[in-house]
């Protein structure tokens, strides 16, 4: 089989992933980053959540371009659950697919814990780290903060 005439292909629509594991995962610890991947070493624990809440700050300047991109990404990845206003009344909530989706106005949020939840997920929400690059996550954070200020 030197020319791969008879290879064993992966099923493109298969659910097993690679080696029977999920494929949307964070990079393996200790690996070299590629394509601008920034290391995130805060663990997915309650202590890590509190550390991110207290210490992480958004490195991006608040600009109209960042907010527009944040809105675009929010509409793709977040609005179906959290709603276009951030009130927890997205399409999936309206159809009773998920209950208890948080309203951004009813809890204390900081840029750090919003980013942390995007990285790891929380409760029913899964991680979006593999869908959003570093800058995109912070753009979504900016837009969530904007929505939160409008809900008050």
- pLDDT by residue for the chain (152 residues), tens only, comes to 456 667 666 565 555 555 666 555 566 666 665 666 677 889 999 999 999 999 999 999 999 999 999 999 999 999 999 999 999 889 988 888 778 888 888 888 999 999 999 999 998 899 999 899 999 999 999 999 999 999 87
- Residue 40 maps to a domain: no
- Residue 50 maps to a domain: yes
> What separation in angstroms does the CA of 138 have from each of 7, 15, 39, 64, 89?
42, 30, 14, 14, 23
CB distance 89 to 83 below 8 Å: yes
- Residue 58 maps to a domain: yes
pTM of the model: 0.76
CB distance 108 to 46 below 8 Å: no
- Residue 10 maps to a domain: no
CATH of the domain at 116: 1.10.760.10
The residue range of the domain holding 71 is 46-151
Residue 97: its pLDDT value, please? 79
- Residue 60 maps to a domain: yes
- Residue 29 maps to a domain: no
Q: Which two tokens stand for residue 112?
A: 């750090």
- Phi, psi values for residue 10, rounded to 5°: -80, 145
Contacts of 55 (CB under 8 A, 6+ apart): 112
- Residue 102 maps to a domain: yes
What is the total count of domains within the chain?
A: 1
- Residue 90 maps to a domain: yes
CB distance 116 to 53 below 8 Å: yes
């Amino acid at each position: 089989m030197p020319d791969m005439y008879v290879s064993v292909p992966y099923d493109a629509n298969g659910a097993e992933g690679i080696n029977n594991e999920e494929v949307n995962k964070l990079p393996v610890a200790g690996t070299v980053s590629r394509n601008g991947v920034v290391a995130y070493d805060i663990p997915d624990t309650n202590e890590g959540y509190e550390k991110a809440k207290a210490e992480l700050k958004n490195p991006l300047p608040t600009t109209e371009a960042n907010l527009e991109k944040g809105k675009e990404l929010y509409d793709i990845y977040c609005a179906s659950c959290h709603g276009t206003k951030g009130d927890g009344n997205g399409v999936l909530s309206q159809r009773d697919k998920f209950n208890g989706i948080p309203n951004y106005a009813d809890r204390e949020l900081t840029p750090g814990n919003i980013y942390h939840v995007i990285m790891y997920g929380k409760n029913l929400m899964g991680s979006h780290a593999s869908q959003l690059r570093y800058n995109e996550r912070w753009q979504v954070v900016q837009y969530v903060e904007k929505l939160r200020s409008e809900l008050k």
